[in-house]
Amino acid sequence: MKLDHFFLPFERERVLSIHLSPNKDDDSWYWGLEKDGVYSVKSTYAMFEGAREADGGASVWKRERWLWNMLWKIAVWPRVKLFFWKLCSEPLATTDNISSRVRGESSLCYFCSSCSESCPHLFRDCGVAKWVWEGLVLEGEAEELQCGVREWIEHRWREMDASDYGKFMVGCWAIWEHHNKVVFDGVVVDPTRVVRRTNDVLHEGGGGMVGRGGRKVARVREGGNDGWCLAPEGKVKINVDAGVKEGEEVGTGAVCRDSQGALLWGLSVAREVEWESVFAEAVAVLDRLQEAASRGVREVVVESDCLQVIDALKEKRTGRSLFA
């Protein structure tokens, strides 16, 4: 038989087991994992998942799925999530990865210049990274593990409190951001800037480390309603915010509305200064209160997302620091 000539024995048996249709239709492709014969990604995914479990890899698969599910649920900026996903997959353009593809490129770390700049070194073993993790005061043991970066991340997450997951993610992102500034902008290596940048991002709402993973929002208001509310009768409400672009400028803005919600005025100011975010928020509130006073407004409700500034206003806190 020609089948014996063209096929192996097990293939021959499969061919002979196919039932021929009495209809004289043209042959067509048929996907055996769906009843209608149409291919679907869902059935393919289920097939591979079943194959993993059958091969004894179920525990590895579940561990990976736990990491990815946890990553996407944490309330951090989308850019931080995307970066962290890349970090777990290790396709970052470290000198170690680049030198393996480009002949003649140095693989030394841009931070310490003493070791090959792999992902585990840059985010775990380098002296700059160790300083950053100590400065951020994360819970859990920070023991040195000789493993890949994803295994190290899994270990750190299982050791630390869930409320610190976002801080850890933002810290890794800030290390990489500072690394790129050192490489491309010639910035001097300074781990304190990484810690300050991490805290600024967390303060601006990119950390999701408070309560149920949401942002820490403080408001001075009459009444206890959730969300934004109108100012009491006879008063105006000023919503104030500030943004810090590290090493370049600070932007502040405010919107003032009356007790009916009508817009009275709005302002935005950019300054070429180097301020920490909490100080920028305090200056924004001060500027807007002075603006209200210059317009003859005396009864004011201030709303800000900076808890430290709001607490200071409530307590009428004084001191000798620049913030106070």
pLDDT tens across 148-201, in order? 888 888 888 888 888 888 999 999 999 999 999 999 989 899 999 999 899 888
C-alpha count within 13 angstroms, C-beta hemisphere, residue 19: 3
Q: For all residues of the chain together, what is the average pLDDT?
A: 81
Cα distance between residue 164 and residue 80, in whole Å: 15
Are 36 and 45 within 8 A, CB to CB?
A: no
Specify the pairing of strand 300-304 against strand 263-271.
unpaired
Say which range, 16-25, 59-68, 215-224, 286-295, has the weakest mean pLDDT.
215-224
Tens-place pLDDT, residues 266-324: 888 888 888 888 888 888 888 888 888 888 888 888 888 887 787 787 776 565 555 55
List, in sequence order, the alpha helices (H) in the chain.
2-6, 9-16, 41-54, 58-73, 78-89, 95-99, 119-120, 127-136, 149-159, 165-185, 191-201, 277-294, 307-315
Fold classification of 218-315 is Nucleotidyltransferase; domain 5 (3.30.420)
What's the average model confidence in pLDDT over 7-17? 85
With 90 as the cut, is the pLDDT of residue 118 above it?
A: yes
Residue percentage of the chain with pLDDT more than 70: 82
What's the average model confidence in pLDDT over 60-86? 81
What's the average model confidence in pLDDT over 124-143? 82
pLDDT-based confidence at residue 247 (cuts at 50, 70, 90): low
With 50 as the cut, is the pLDDT of residue 226 above it?
A: no
Residue with tokens 């001191």: 319
Cα distance between residue 170 and residue 138, in whole Å: 12
DSSP 8-class letter at 323: -
CATH 3.30.420.10 segments of the chain: 218-315
With 50 as the cut, is the pLDDT of residue 80 above it?
A: yes
